[in-house]
Chain A
């Protein structure tokens, strides 16, 4: 039975596709993978590009070349990473494009897949140091209720309106104001 686009898509749409199992779809998957690479879903295109490299067929190169020309760098990174799964001569064809990519991540992945050290690519891609922006002003103090202002200037340990004189007014010991001693 022919492999359908939906079967290939179902194998790749998972969060974490099982690429080894998906590769068992075989060469019949390759036209669908090419369609996916040329379609409008970069995540699916990246997965399709990677899977193409795992299918042992010369037509895989066509899929990876399409991925290597994709406007989304994540698809080109996927193509670069998948070149390690290609025969050396086929990998070389795809890397020719990727090694000249504007994106250092793509170039670094291509170099890594070829067994080279990508450190120099990253060193040359480092931006010049930019002085840090000044720290933003701290936000206004939180933790106040609506309408709250600084507390009024009242003597330490007294409530507003309370005066030492009132506080120390002599009252009948043990009785509240207005209260009369029990008969």
Chain B
């Protein structure tokens, strides 16, 4: 196997070409011509001539092929918006996808029906727009770019983007599935440590073992009769009638999402209790709990047990006694958490 020689394919253009292959033996090349229109040349059992696809481009084009016979081409227009043209049994017209681009776009596709487009915005951040049963809005991915982006996808739910930073170094940002705990909060009584604070504390601790925490929703519940919640002995797998009644409130929560109920107190008095009815993963946290109780109780829901170590989140000696905050989670606990059905790859 070796590199073969150079062959001229003709044409006259000044910017970079873009190329996609929708299958073996097929190449589609796109350039901006000296007339600023989009031009196309393809290989299939030999090279075609150049074909103008019109438009008035102010950037290089970008192209992706999500399946045989499908091409999606993107470029910036004279209005600095993103423009799109696609081939699917014939060429479409140009479609504006909006935005204010300050670079050429780039595009990746991880499968049929999915396209991800990236460009630098007027704020020099990386911006993202994607097609998945319809076009998304623009999403900022942050950063301070001194180049346009480059994007690639090696499989479903994986995108890698590369840009030049203000230090002229190469910077990389990627989209990937990560083990994530989706938490919903239901508030009967606001806790002494604010909900957002306890979620953030949990997020910080869980991040140390690569587990994300998503605060999926929050809701106030007017259930005064459950506000001092009878939790019995608070033993895993055993619940009281009041717990059964409270944990039935799972608005917005999927079957593997964890719901935490902030109550005024539990009876008997605990900081929290992670005992929950089958199929309703969740925990109750009392208003007077510490900043770590929330993450501690969700840790129980994920299968973690108490340890005798006040440097760790799952200390059985009271999170009020944590000596070296933030408390630790250890590798074996990570394995348990990731193996839990309530830790989802998102």
- By a beta-carbon cutoff of 8 Å, the part of chain A in contact with chain B is 10, 13-17, 19, 42-43, 46-47, 49-50, 73-74, 77-78, 81-82, 104-105, 108-109, 118, 122, 125, 141-148, 151-152, 154, 156-162, 166-167, 171, 173-179, 182
Contact = CB atoms under 8 A, between A and B. Distances in A.
Nearest to B57: A159
A10 B56 CA distance: 75
B307 interface: no
B197 to A, nearest CB: 17
Nearest to B94: A159
A124 to B, nearest CB: 12
Contacts of A50: 268-269
Contacts of B244: none
A166 B78 CA distance: 15
Interface in B112-169: 121-123, 127, 136-140
A182 B10 CA distance: 9
Contacts of B320: 13
A110 B139 CA distance: 54
Interface of A is mostly: loop
B194 interface: no
A157 B122 contact: no
A109 B77 contact: no
Given A50-B269, A160-B77, A176-B39, A42 B34 contact: no
A43 B269 CA distance: 8
A167 B92 CA distance: 14
A157 B94 CA distance: 4
A179 B228 contact: no
Contacts of B69: none
B186 interface: no
B277 interface: no
Nearest to B92: A157
A79 B138 CA distance: 56
Contact of B228 (A17, A19, A74, A142): A74
A179 B94 contact: no
B317 A14 contact: yes
B50 interface: yes
B56 A77 contact: no
B227 interface: yes
B50 A47 contact: no
Nearest to A82: B268
B81 interface: yes
* Chain B interface extent, by class: 35 or more
B228 A105 contact: yes
Interface of B: 10-13, 31, 33-35, 37, 39, 48-52, 54-57, 77-79, 81, 83, 92-96, 98-101, 121-123, 127, 136-140, 224-225, 227-228, 234, 264-265, 267-273, 286-289, 293, 296-297, 316-321
Given A13-B321, A15-B319, A176-B50, 19 more contacts: A16-B271, A43-B286, A77-B265, A77-B267, A78-B267, A82-B268, A118-B225, A125-B224, A143-B137, A145-B99, A145-B101, A146-B123, A159-B54, A159-B96, A160-B56, A161-B77, A162-B94, A166-B35, A176-B39
B324 to A, nearest CB: 17
Contacts of B264: 73-74, 77, 105
B52 A171 contact: yes
A28 B99 CA distance: 73
Nearest to A106: B228
B48 to A, nearest CB: 7
Nearest to B222: A127
Contact of A78 (B51, B98, B269, B293): B269
Contacts of B51: 174
Nearest to A125: B224
A160 B273 CA distance: 62
Given A16-B273, A43-B269, A143-B138, A159 B293 contact: no
Contacts of B321: 13
B56 A162 contact: yes
B99 A148 contact: yes
Contact of A177 (B12, B55, B123, B289): B12
Contact of A14 (B35, B55, B268, B318): B318
Contacts of B31: 176
B290 to A, nearest CB: 8
B12 A176 contact: yes
Contacts of A142: 137
18 contacts: A15-B319, A16-B272, A17-B269, A74-B228, A74-B265, A81-B267, A82-B268, A108-B225, A144-B98, A145-B98, A146-B122, A157-B92, A158-B93, A159-B55, A161-B56, A162-B54, A175-B50, A176-B50
A179 B224 CA distance: 80
A122 B138 contact: no
